[in-house]
Amino acid sequence: MSNAKREKKRDEIERVAAHLFAKNGFQGTSVRRLARELGMTQASLYYYFNNKEELLFKLMDTAMVDALAVINDIWLSNLPVEEKLHQILGYYTRYYAGERDQEILLLTEMNSLTEEHRAVLIEKQRHYLKIFYDMLQELMDRGKIKREIHHSVATFAFLGMVHYTVRWYHPQGSVSLDQLSEMFVEIFTRGILSG
């Protein structure tokens, strides 16, 4: 099998697995069911992944790595910090509200991972949080955020707002991802930015 065909099949496995894990839970999705959905044998699946947990980790890690790369690029850019805030909040909303299956996995399946894999993702979460904390602290130091709002509370308020979209938001509904992103940025910044 050529590398291109192998990668295409691997991508299909990841897409179908993400959907099944998000819909039925990691424990509620058997390798047999995944293989059946893909029209493969169970043995064929092991050509691509050593085990089901490795596949789950790959899905969750890829989602975090992809989002973190963009967020980090925005944070390290020469943009004014207020613009960084708008861009990061907007991107984070569009990415996670748009990648529903991956978001569900990140919120619900951390305990299904091995300690080693969980530690890798927790370290990436810390990196996310540090960017948010540092950005909000810089805004606070410049007098752009109300002093009485603690930056960790503001960070978790925003993350909670975005993460809860898995319960109610549907991209095919009346609000597009871009509109949702703009609304969340507006709600969040109007609530914390002074003057």
Contacts 24+ apart (CB under 8 A), 155-163: 155/129, 157/188, 158/89, 158/92, 158/132, 158/184, 158/188, 159/132, 161/187, 161/188, 162/92, 162/93, 162/96, 162/97, 163/96, 163/103, 163/107
Backbone φ/ψ region at 116: left (φ over 0), alpha (ψ -120 to 50), beta: alpha
Give the Cα separation of 57 and 40 in Å (integer). 21
Q: Domains in the chain, start-ordered, CATH in brackets?
A: 1-49 (1.10.10.60), 52-192 (1.10.357.10)
Give the Cα separation of 187 and 180 in Å (integer). 10
Q: Is 145 helix (H, G, I), strand (E, B) or coil?
A: strand
**pLDDT string in tens for the chain (195-residue length):** 678 888 999 999 999 999 999 999 999 999 999 999 999 999 999 999 999 999 999 999 999 999 999 999 999 999 999 999 999 999 988 888 888 899 999 999 999 999 999 999 999 999 999 999 999 999 989 888 888 888 888 889 989 998 888 889 888 899 998 999 988 888 888 765 555
Query: Tell me, what's the pLDDT at 131?
Result: 95
pLDDT (tens digit, 9 = 90+) per residue, 11-65?
A: 999 999 999 999 999 999 999 999 999 999 999 999 999 999 999 999 999 999 9
